Amino acid sequence: MLNFVKKVIGDEQERRLKKYEKLVEAVNQLEPELEKLSDEELKQKTETFKERVEEGETVSDLRVEGFAVVREAAKRVLGQRHYDVQLMGGFTLLDNDIAEMATGEGKTLVASLPSYVKALEGKGVHVITVNEYLARRDREMIGQLHEFLGLEVGLNINGLSPVEKQAAYAADITYGVGAEFGFDYLRDNMVFAVHQRVRQRPYHYAIIDEIDSILIDEAKTPLIIAGKTSVRPNLYHICARLSKSFTEEKDYIYDREARSVTFTDTGITKVERAFGVDNLYDLEHQTLYHYVIQALRARVMFHRDVEYIIDDSEVKLVDMFTGRVMEGRTLSDGLHQAIEAKEGLEITEENKTQASVTIQNYFRLYPSISGMTGTAKTEKQEFQQLYGMAVIDIPSNKPRQREDLEDSIYFTVEQKYQAVGRKVRELYDRQQPVLVGTTSIIQSETIASYLDEKEIPYEILNAKSVDQEVKLISLAGQKGQVTIATNMAGRGTDIMLGEGAAELGGLYVLGTEKHESRRIDNQLRGRSGRQGDPGTTKFFISIEDDMMKRFAREELEQWQASLTADPDGLIHDKEAAQFIEKVQRMCEDANYAQREYTLKLDDVINEQRDVIYKLRNNIMEDRRPLPYALEMIRKASQSVTETYCPDFQLPEEWDLEGLNSRLNHLLPYERIDIRPEDAESAQDVHDMVSEACEKYIAFIETHASNLRLQQEAKQVLLMTIDIRWLGHLDDMARLKEGIGLRSYQQEDPLRIYLREGYEIFQKTFDMIQRDVAMNIQRPLRPMLHPEEKTNKA
């Protein structure tokens, strides 16, 4: 039945490619006509297109002509003509989908097509890259093409002044790093005046290069803006020393799959004895628990030269998927300081979260997003579910000649590395270029030591040598060259074969460990065989590799006894490859579950963030924001009334004395004295409070023309919201930290987080309203108590 339906409606992939082939044919038919135009006539096309958009034509109406104009301009400005398959990739992006194109197919040039056409709408286009080098390179290269056609092109990177960023965002097309766009969104919602914003304009359209790296790999960690706060260095060092005494399984449980640690009862007792406390989980010991659990996480989950490096006595985080140092990024909530204590370094100030957003929820702000990568198919379900994007496999410009060999699987890591050394020696002796792929800095340096033993010269590309990145990658295809690289995602530079290298078989890519995702393995393979070049790829792995230990330790112990191997440790059982593939899929599923969990948690706070940001922005943009404060005075007085005179109590049980005291602080206009004989029902009390509140508000409104009062009201509102929002983020972080401890209640942690997070937010909003009601009295004091002014005079 499924095959019949496919025959009737056609396979989606096949249908889309046929559609694009027709559009490409239409573009090609316009080429002779456009070649005859002068440069000025070609440039004039942009103005003509803009006029047609204003008259009601759509991007779909202009796409064929627009692509033809860009291709002609590229020939004149860059000396490059888009291949037909690059046009197909461009049409895919214009349809808000993902173009999967092999490494070396020219994705940078592909982006020039839809970015130009969408920019004609005058609403801004963002072209997102994975690092600043690529953002600068693409802006300089493709930017000159768009500027030739009369468009403004901007660059958004870290370190620009607000004025420079405003200019970048005002451009028709803005290149930049994804994280920087996200941070600008957060910062724009933290400023105190409209002119301080970078003015990101309403979100319109984004093209994301290496979309799987940005929306999948980077999505595990939210973007966080943090402020410095004082720390207790001694406590960090004490907890670091204490953590060294903890034993796995006895004192703590380390879930390698979920990458989480929890104390056992024995471990809790050890902490309580060390600090002389009765119950570590008492509210008063919440801070102590936080320090101790972060020390344990730092020791168990973070390893030097894997997740971080030490550079000039400073802890620098390493991007696990690109192998680069993440400059300026630190772990929040004291985890960075816990690592510093573990390494015996000076403790820096702790980062306190001031604003955060997940990568997923940031990019959901765009009505239209699209992307390019060489490896998205394995995650196509996630792209479809989260973003509604299909993955379209674009044919390569030339047939692929690369040969992907079966994996060689060894018993031990030592046997694997010995085999890698022998293979590299063999390839080096015949001068075939070799790229050795590793998963961490430690592994790259281990491989290097084995090559040293065999006296093989090599170059290392990892987070410690990033400044030489372009040079090392460009040399990697030369005869006799051996390059060791930690991850190859988003490098942005193709490996070109040197003279005579093709005759030797092209680039030989040798993987030394399977990654947590098949995509990353495919990215490594994709470095060989670009544009029809010959090449070979092969993975050398062992059943002692980290991925096997982390995701299949118990199954491995039961299963490996039945395996057979040759004297070099090479396993011949066919089941070994199937087992490793199964483990890798388990790994992918676990990572997907982690991203999904992070997103669901952030969805809760995302709704809260939307409420706060919209309120804050409305106040900031309003020249007369006093009515917001007046409404909060109303809500605060109602809330206080409900607190002291709840519906579930009898009138004689109400605390009218407490209510009068609080109301006289909140509504300092006329003395309020509600007596029991006047309060026979809740409605009576609410009516009296409402009357007193409206008199106070009416008095304030008589001074609404006072611009100074309006300005001071704005400051009170913004500062109060910010202070309470920071406290709220802290409360939500603690709630997230604590829900895992309550899993024994057999209640869904997400449900707990949703329910209690809502209660915390209600409380936070209530406190904002009460604080505003109290704080607004300061600028009102001269009006409320004019006699004070007279007496002073």
539 plus 565 within the same structural domain: yes
Q: What's the confidence (pLDDT) of residue 282?
A: 61
The CATH number given to whatever domain includes residue 427 is: 3.40.50.300
430 plus 557 within the same structural domain: yes
Q: Please say which residue of 393, 415, 447 terminates a domain.
A: 393
The strand pairing partners of 542, in sequence order, are: 410
412 plus 540 within the same structural domain: yes
DSSP reduced 3-state for 261: strand
* Range name among 77-86, 282-291, 473-482, 491-500 with the lowest pLDDT average: 282-291
Assess whether pLDDT exceeds 90 at residue 84. Answer: yes
Q: What's the confidence (pLDDT) of residue 743?
A: 52
Contact 512, 416 (CB under 8 A): yes
Question: What is the mean predicted confidence (pLDDT) over 692-696?
Answer: 94
Q: What's the confidence (pLDDT) of residue 463?
A: 57
387 plus 407 within the same structural domain: no
108 annotated to bind ligand = yes
Contact 472, 461 (CB under 8 A): yes
* Range name among 109-118, 302-311, 697-706 with the lowest pLDDT average: 302-311
94 plus 162 within the same structural domain: yes
User: 496-503 long-range CB contacts below 8 Å, 24 or more apart?
Assistant: 496/530, 497/433, 497/533, 498/433, 500/431, 501/432, 501/433, 501/477, 502/533, 502/534
Percent of the chain whose predicted confidence (pLDDT) is above 70: 92
| Domain of residue 375, residue span | 11-220+361-393
More confident residue, 210 or 329: 210
Assess whether pLDDT exceeds 90 at residue 557. Answer: no
* Distance in angstroms (rounded) separating the CA atoms of residues 321 and 664: 59
Question: What is the mean predicted confidence (pLDDT) over 468-476?
Answer: 75
Assess whether pLDDT exceeds 50 at residue 762. Answer: yes
The CATH number given to whatever domain includes residue 711 is: 1.10.3060.10
105 annotated to bind ligand = yes
The CATH number given to whatever domain includes residue 266 is: 3.90.1440.10
CA 36 vs. chain centroid, Å, equals 46
297 plus 381 within the same structural domain: no
42 plus 182 within the same structural domain: yes
For residue 503, tell me if it sits in a domain: yes
490 confidence band (pLDDT: 50, 70, 90): very low
Assess whether pLDDT exceeds 80 at residue 623. Answer: yes
Tokens in use for 630?
């007046």
* Distance in angstroms (rounded) separating the CA atoms of residues 364 and 367: 7
104 annotated to bind ligand = yes
106 annotated to bind ligand = yes
More confident residue, 436 or 736: 436
For residue 693, tell me if it sits in a domain: yes
For residue 610, tell me if it sits in a domain: no
pTM (predicted TM-score)? 0.78
Q: What's the confidence (pLDDT) of residue 626?
A: 95
**DSSP strands (E only) in 138-202:** 153-156, 173-177
75 plus 158 within the same structural domain: yes
Tokens in use for 541?
């792995």
* Range name among 128-132, 317-321, 572-576, 711-715 with the lowest pLDDT average: 317-321
* Distance in angstroms (rounded) separating the CA atoms of residues 172 and 47: 13
Assess whether pLDDT exceeds 90 at residue 203. Answer: yes
For residue 309, tell me if it sits in a domain: yes
221 annotated to bind ligand = no
* Range name among 29-33, 586-590, 690-694 with the lowest pLDDT average: 586-590
Mean pLDDT of the chain: 87
Contacts of 781 by beta carbon, 8 Å cutoff, 6+ apart: 788
In 560-625, which ranges are continuous DSSP H helix?
A: 574-621
207 plus 239 within the same structural domain: no
Q: How far is CA 746 from CA 258, 265, 451, 641, 736, in A?
A: 18, 18, 53, 37, 16
648 plus 577 within the same structural domain: no
Q: How many domains does the chain have?
A: 4
Percent of the chain whose predicted confidence (pLDDT) is above 90: 50
Assess whether pLDDT exceeds 70 at residue 467. Answer: no
Question: What is the mean predicted confidence (pLDDT) over 362-375?
Answer: 92
577 plus 689 within the same structural domain: no
305 annotated to bind ligand = no
324 plus 432 within the same structural domain: no
Q: What's the confidence (pLDDT) of residue 527?
A: 87
Q: Mutual orientation of helices 777-784 and 707-739 as an angle, nearest 10°?
A: 150
Q: What's the confidence (pLDDT) of residue 793?
A: 41
443 annotated to bind ligand = no
* Distance in angstroms (rounded) separating the CA atoms of residues 175 and 198: 15
For residue 107, tell me if it sits in a domain: yes
Q: How far is CA 720 from CA 622, 725, 768, 773, in A?
A: 17, 8, 6, 10
For residue 643, tell me if it sits in a domain: yes
Q: What's the confidence (pLDDT) of residue 389?
A: 93
For residue 447, tell me if it sits in a domain: yes
For residue 55, tell me if it sits in a domain: yes
